[in-house]
Amino acid sequence: MSEIAKIIGKRIRNYRNNLGLSQEKLAELSGCHPTYIGQIGRGEKNATLESIEKISAALNIPLSKLFEKLSESEASQRSIPLECYEFLSSKSPQEQEIIYRIILEIDKYKEI
């Protein structure tokens, strides 16, 4: 499957897990089949835009959130800042704040 399908699938899976939703529950909320949700989450299926729109609505996130920084993801080399962004964006605002504070504390003690 294409790299973009894998990235979008991973983002959907991260948001679903963050909300504590099973594949079955997300399928119910979005009107998609549970198997299809699983295939999208694993990057095995190339989802239609209509399905992605239904899923983003069920996750209560803007459709644009799933496509943020996507062109940067397509670079052939690893991007640590982008991986950090992916990780943080899948967390709740409260978790993001805690992680950010931890990073700031770690930064205070780095060796130059």
> Could you tell me which residue, 95 or 85, shows the higher pLDDT?
95
User: In this structure, which amino acid lies at residue 19?
Assistant: L
11-38 pLDDT tens trace: 999 899 888 899 999 999 999 999 999 9
Number of structural domains in the chain: 1
Residue 67 is predicted with a pLDDT of 87
| Residue 28 tokens, joined | 């119910």
List C-alpha distances in Å: 96 to 49, 58, 103: 28, 22, 11
Q: Domain containing 24 — which CATH number?
A: 1.10.260.40
The CA-atom distances, in angstroms, between 92 and each of 22, 30, 62 are 17, 21, 15
Of 51, 33, 38, the residue nearest 10 (C-alpha): 38
Mean pLDDT of the chain: 86
